[in-house]
Structure 1
Amino acid sequence: MFRRSVSIFILPLILLAGCSLPVQSGSVNDQGEWVPDRSIEIIAPAAAGGGWDTTARMLARTIDEEQLADESFGVVNKPGGGGAVAWSYIHKRNDPHNIFVSSPPLHFVYLNGQSPFGYEDFTPIANLIADYGAFAVREDAKWDTLDELFADMREDPESVTVVGVSSPGSMDHIQFMMFADKAGVDIKKIRYVSDQDGGGMTSVLNGSVDVISTGVMDAVDQARAGKMKILGITAPERLEGDEFLETLPTAKEQGIDAEFIVWRGMFGPPDMTDEQLAYYEQAFQKVSESEAFAEVRDMYGWDEQFMNSEEFQVFLDEQYVELEKILIDLGFIDE
C-alpha cells in the first residue's frame, strides 16, 4: 500500500463540515425492516448543476413521484474539496438518514491525497448508472482509429498532445493513460494538458492540441456535426438506443483490452446496519427498474447498470486497484 499525505488546505474545510446536529438512527419494525424517523437527505458533493447534483435530483424526484419509499428524499448540496467536504460530513455524522451520490472521483481524490476518506470508509449501497469516456480528434486528423493513434504514440509518445478538463492525475487524464498503457505506449512521456475552463474541445478544433479525453456525451455533438471523429469509447460494448451512438467503436473491439466505467452510485455512512442497507438497496433497485428512471437515463444518455451492495463493493475494489497502479506508474503516488 502506498503512503498519502492529505493536502493541508483541504483540512479546515473538512473539519468544519464535521460540525452538525445529533444523529438519529431510526428504528426496526416487527418485520425486521428499518424505519427512518425523518426524511432522507441525498448529499450531492458539489454545487448545483453538475453530474452529482443532477443524478441526486433525478433519483430523489423518481422516488418521491413514483412513491417508492415511505419517507421523502431531498437533495442537499455540499460542495468543496472536489467532494471531500461532503464525505467528511457524512463520515462525521454517521447518520443513516444521510447518504450521498458519487463516482470515480471518490477514488481519485483519496488516492491523490486530497481527502482522508475513500470508498472503504463508507458503505456502498448500490450503483445505478454508467457513463463512458471518449477519445476524439478533429475531423481532418490523420487518425481514423485508436490503433492508428497509439501506433504513432508508441513510436513517439511526445508527438501527440492530449487535453481534458480534469487536472493531472484525475479522470480525463487517467482514463486516457489506462488505454494508452494497454496499447503499449510509454505513458510517462505522454503530453497531457488540463483545461479546467472547458476550452479543450475548442483547442482540438483549432488545432492547438491533437486529442481530447472526455465523456461520450460531451464529444457527441461535435461528432454529429461532422467537426470531430470519435476514435474510441471506454465502454465494454457498443452503446445502444441511438443510431449515431451505435456507430462509435469501443477500444476493446480495436484490440485494446481495457474499459473505464464512469459509474454513479450511492453510498451511506460507515456503520450502517444490515436493515438500513437493505432499506436503501431495495429502494434504489425499484428506482433502477422503474419506467420513470428509464426515461431519465434516456434523457441524459446514461446506461443502466444496477449493482447491489455486494456487487458494487467487488467492482469498486477492482477499479481501485487499476487506478492505483496507473497513478503509481505515473509517479503521482508512492508504492
Structure 2
Amino acid sequence: MLPRKTWSLRSAAAALTLSIAAVGFSSAVLADWEPSKPVEFIAPANPGGGWDTLVRTVSNSIRAEELAPVNFAAINIPGGGGSVAWAQIGRDEKNDHKLFATSPPIILVPLSGRSRFDHNDFTPIARLITDYSIVLVRADSPYQNINDLFDAMKKDPSMSIGGGSAAGSMDHIAIAGAAGAAGLDASSVNYIAFSGGGEVMTNLRGGHIAAGISGAGESSAQLEDGMLRALAVSSSERIPGPVADVPTFVEQGVDYTFDIWRGVMGPKDMSAEAVTYYQDLLARMQETDNWKQSRDRLGWYDAYQNSEEFGKFLDEQYTLFSTVLKDLGLLAN
C-alpha cells in the first residue's frame, strides 16, 4: 500500500520561467517561414477526449483570429493510449506540416512499456494549458462524495473505474494515486482503459462502469444535461467556471492533487524555422479573445512554455513519473 502523498505535477515545473519572450530560436532571423499547405493536427485518440478538445480548440482559435495562412486540420488517430498515432508520426521525420496534441501519456505510456516511442522521438513545440482530473458518476449513483466511492472500492475491489488513457497512463495514475492517498492499495484499482474521454462518458452513461475519470475541461459539457455528477477534482483549490461547485480531493480529506498539462509536439527533426513559427503562433493565439473565451469555458489555465522550456519540462516529467510508476508497481523493466 502506498503512503499518503500528494503527486502535484505543478511542483516539477515550479522552477521554470514561463516567459513567452524566451524563445529557443531567433524569431527575427526565422520570421519569414510559414506553412505552405494545410497542417495536419493530430489528436491521438477518438473524438471527445482531452487531446481532441485541445486540437479542435486551438484549430478553431487560429482560424477565427486569422493567425495563419493555412488551415490546421484536426485528425483523430486512436489506439493504444496514443501509441498508434505516435508510431505513425515517428515514421514522418522532418515533416514541418504535422503537429499533435500531447500530455502526460507521452511520458507514462512508454515508461509502462506500451510504446517504443517516447518524448525524445518528437519535437517539443509549446506547452499550452493546465487542466485537472475529475471523477464522475451517474446522477443516480449511490455515491455522494469521493469517500463514498473509495469506501465502496475497499469493499469491492472489482468495481470498474473507466478512463480515456491506457493502463499505466494519465487517467489510471490519477485515480490510482488518489486511491492510494485515501488508504487503498493503489495497485488494486480495477481500471478500465477506453479509447478517449468520449468513450468513457458513453460507458458511464450506460451504466457499464461505476465511475469515470477524465479531464475537468473536457467533462464540463457532459455535466450540463444532469445525467452525470462530479465527486471530486484534483486541483488544490476549486476551479472557477463550469465545475466551480465540485469539491477537491483535499477538501474531502484526501491529500492529493494532480495537474494535467497539455501541449503541442511535432515529428522529429523539424526545421528550426518551423519550430519558431509554431511556438510563436501559439503564444500569439493565447492572447486572442477567441482563445480566452474557449479557455475559460473549458476551465483551463494558460501555462505557456516555448520549445526549449517545454523540452526541459518533459525531461523533468520523465524523472517524476518514473518514481510514480515505480511506487505503483507499473514501471516496465
Judge same fold: TM > 0.5, yes or no: yes
Deviation of 1:32 after TM superposition, in Å, equals 1.1
**Residue 303 of structure 2, aligned match among 301, 306, 326:** 306
Q: Is this contact kept in 2: 1:164–1:195, CA < 8 A?
A: yes
Correspondences of 1:241-280 after superposition (within 5 Å): 241-242=241-242, 245-272=243-270, 275-280=273-278
Secondary structure at the counterpart of residue 212 of structure 2: strand
Match of residue 87 from structure 1: 86
| Aligned partner letter, 2:293 | E
Correspondences of 1:2-13 after superposition (within 5 Å): none
Partner Cα separation in structure 2 for residue 269 and residue 80 of structure 1: 18
Secondary structure at the counterpart of residue 178 of structure 1: helix
| Aligned partner letter, 2:263 | G
**Residue 296 of structure 1, aligned match among 294, 297, 316:** 294
Q: Is this contact kept in 2: 1:130–1:302, CA < 8 A?
A: no
Partner Cα separation in structure 2 for residue 223 and residue 78 of structure 1: 24
Match of residue 145 from structure 2: 145
**Residue 33 of structure 1, aligned match among 30, 33, 48:** 30
Q: Deviations over 1:245-270 (max 9, x none)?
A: 21111123334343333333111333
Partner Cα separation in structure 2 for residue 29 and residue 193 of structure 1: 46
Structure 2 gaps, min length 5: 1-24
> Which 10-residue stretch deviates more, 138-147 or 96-105?
138-147
| Aligned partner letter, 1:304 | Y
Match of residue 201 from structure 1: 204
Q: Is this contact kept in 1: 2:165–2:171, CA < 8 A?
A: yes
Match of residue 60 from structure 1: 59
Secondary structure at the counterpart of residue 257 of structure 2: coil
Structure 1 gaps, min length 5: 1-27
Secondary structure at the counterpart of residue 280 of structure 1: helix
Match of residue 169 from structure 1: 168
Partner Cα separation in structure 2 for residue 162 and residue 263 of structure 1: 22
Report the TM-score when normalising by structure 2.
0.72
Secondary structure at the counterpart of residue 240 of structure 1: coil
Partner Cα separation in structure 1 for residue 190 and residue 65 of structure 2: 48
> Which 10-residue stretch deviates more, 120-129 or 77-86?
77-86
> Which 10-residue stretch deviates more, 60-69 or 115-124?
60-69
Q: Is this contact kept in 1: 2:129–2:304, CA < 8 A?
A: no
Change (3 A) 1:219 1:94: closer
Match of residue 6 from structure 2: none
Partner Cα separation in structure 1 for residue 161 and residue 132 of structure 2: 17
Q: CA RMSD in A?
A: 3.7
Q: Is this contact kept in 1: 2:163–2:171, CA < 8 A?
A: yes
Secondary structure at the counterpart of residue 262 of structure 2: strand
Report the TM-score when normalising by structure 1.
0.71
- Structure of larger gyration radius: 1
Match of residue 9 from structure 1: none
Partner Cα separation in structure 1 for residue 158 and residue 26 of structure 2: 65
Match of residue 180 from structure 1: 179
Deviation of 1:181 after TM superposition, in Å, equals 1.9
| Aligned partner letter, 1:303 | W
